[in-house]
Amino acid sequence: MEGKSSINHFLHSHPLTLAEEVYHKSLCNGCEKSLSPGPFYGCTIGNCKFYLHQTCTELPKEIQHFFHPCPLVLDTLSYFKCDACFEYGSGFSYGCRRCSFDMHVECAQRPTGDEDGDCKDIIQHFTHGHPLTLVGWESEERFASGVWY
């Protein structure tokens, strides 16, 4: 198992200890998915019950995303509406408190451009809940007959 045996995470006040096996049906407090299979970090202080997948502890504290002009900061919210997919969520999100903007971590991690990082061919259209990417006519993939994505 790779990783430090104990870490301090900026979104939790106690140290977190690395573990591999899950002896309960707890969920990750970051992504809210099952802890199994591991590895994961857990709080061993009292009855705290705070757990994070190892990958969730490695998320950057701050990102820049083409959906929003301000830097987005990793935070944990009890409930929010994602401004990218318009679905509700809880747990970790990337957000801008000043602008009341929030994104699921998964939405923030989706590809946002070509190999050069160019995002000019990606748009958000009011008729669709996800970003749309311009695809050349040579593409074989179709969303529906006559509609290219």
pLDDT at 143 over 80: no
In a domain, 136, yes or no: no
In a domain, 126, yes or no: no
pTM, rounded to two decimals: 0.67
Tell me how far the alpha carbon of residue 86 is from its chain's centroid: 14
76, 29 in Cβ contact below 8 A? Answer: yes
Question: What are the CB-based long-range contacts (under 8 Å, 24+) for 41-49?
Answer: 41/7, 41/9, 41/16, 41/17, 42/16, 42/17, 43/12, 43/14, 43/15, 43/16, 43/17, 44/14, 44/17, 45/14, 45/15, 48/14
In a domain, 66, yes or no: yes
Please count the structural domains in the chain: 2
pLDDT for the residue 148: 46
45 plus 12 within the same structural domain: yes
pLDDT at 113 over 90: no
- Which has more pLDDT, 110 or 29? 29
49 plus 66 within the same structural domain: no
In a domain, 121, yes or no: no
In a domain, 144, yes or no: no
Strand ranges (DSSP E) for the chain?
6-8, 15-19, 40-43, 51-53, 62-65, 68-81, 88-96, 101-104, 122-123, 132-133
Instruction: Name the one residue in this structure whose structure tokens are 């199994």.
Output: 36
131, 139 in Cβ contact below 8 A? Answer: no
**If you average pLDDT over residues 86-104, what whole number do you get?**
94
Strands 51-53 and 62-65: unpaired
In a domain, 114, yes or no: no
- Which has more pLDDT, 141 or 37? 37
pLDDT at 134 over 70: no
In a domain, 141, yes or no: no
**If you average pLDDT over residues 41-62, what whole number do you get?**
90
What's the domain range around 19?
6-57
pLDDT for the residue 10: 87
